[in-house]
Amino acid sequence: MLRRLSCCVLFLLPVCQLLAQSCTTPKDSSQAAFWQQQRQFPRVRAAEANTGPVVANRLHTKVLDPNRLEIFIRMIKTSAEVEVWARNQNGGPFELLHSYPLSAKSGSLGPKRRAGDYQVPEGFYEIDRFNPNSNFHLSLGLNYPNTADRALGEPDPGGDIFIHGGAASIGCLPITDAGIEEVYLLAVMARAAGQTVIPVHIFPFPLTEPELAKHLNSPHQAFWRGLMPGYAYFEKQHEVMEPVQLTAK
């Protein structure tokens, strides 16, 4: 139904109704059940009330339909921002929806290799957990350590890396409570619209030859060059490279 409504009419809907409609025409009952399950939690309901209007306005501005939403998350450490890119399903390349400044940082440039090293991971990940009862308001878990991390890291590479609220980090990506409310709602909408894999790419800096030349003495040069194809592909196409092609050695 939303596809037949004009953007003006869509924007005039009460925000709670707009967000709710992302589960009224699901592709299957499991997607509708996901929204229903998330709305059982007080913090998710509060996020809809608190930041739902902001999210609705961002989607309206980019002519994005909650029922067809896909998102991609990227973080470049030197920029200290979590970028959320979005598009409608089958709607062409991703566009930058909004950037959320980190509220705290930890570690340095380079991948995470062991538990307790305070490093933020680098590489190609995806959201694998929605935590509506986080110690840091709301949080989205990354599938760290992935296969590459297990192969290249130490016997205990650590885990529990999240995008979350608050302003503290020991290897996670905090973006304030207000920031995580927006990103959490967007991720819930995308999942309910049928996006089973929400990719998250994390890079140390823009992976270009001039930037790499500034770090010639780094022991991570080979690892970073392994990430370059995924970075360059998105920069050129605004599409995410297929997972089978995203390997870092």
pLDDT confidence of residue 246: 60
Residue of 46 and 23 predicted with greater confidence: 46
Residue with more model confidence, 132 or 246? 132
In this structure, the number of other CB atoms found within 10 A of the CB of residue 157 comes to 20
Q: Please say if the pLDDT value at position 78 is more than 80.
A: yes
Tokens of 236: 């050129």
Residue 46 Cα distances to 11, 136, 138, 178, angstroms: 20, 15, 11, 11
Q: How far apart are CA 184 and CA 174, in angstroms?
A: 12
Per-residue model confidence as pLDDT tens digits over 55-72: 999 999 999 999 899 999
Q: Cα–Cα–Cα angle for 153, 158, 161, nearest 5°?
A: 115
**84, 67 Cβ separation under 8 angstroms:** no
- pLDDT tens per residue across span 163-174: 999 999 999 999
- In tens, the pLDDT along 144-197 reads 999 999 999 999 999 999 999 999 999 999 999 999 999 999 999 999 999 999
For the segment 43-50, the average pLDDT, to the nearest whole number, is 96
Q: What is the pLDDT of residue 34?
A: 87
Count CB neighbours of 62 within 10 A. 14
pTM above 0.75, yes or no: yes
pLDDT in tens, 1-41: 333 333 333 333 333 333 443 333 445 566 678 889 999 99
Report how far Cα 241 is from the mean position of its chain's Cα atoms: 16
Mean pLDDT over 98-125 rounds to 96
> Catalytic residue numbers?
164, 172
Q: HSE of 237 in the Cβ direction (CA atoms, 13 Å)?
A: 11
pLDDT tens-place string over residues 205-229: 999 999 999 999 999 999 999 999 9
Confidence bin at 94 (pLDDT 50/70/90):
very high
Q: Mean pLDDT of all residues in the chain?
A: 88
At residue 114, the pLDDT reads 94
For 173, list phi and psi in degrees, rounded to 5.
Answer: -120, 90
- Strand 162-164, strand 173-174: pairing: parallel
From edge to edge, which strands make up the β-sheet containing 69-76?
A: 95-101, 81-88, 69-76, 199-203, 123-134, 137-142, 162-164, 173-174
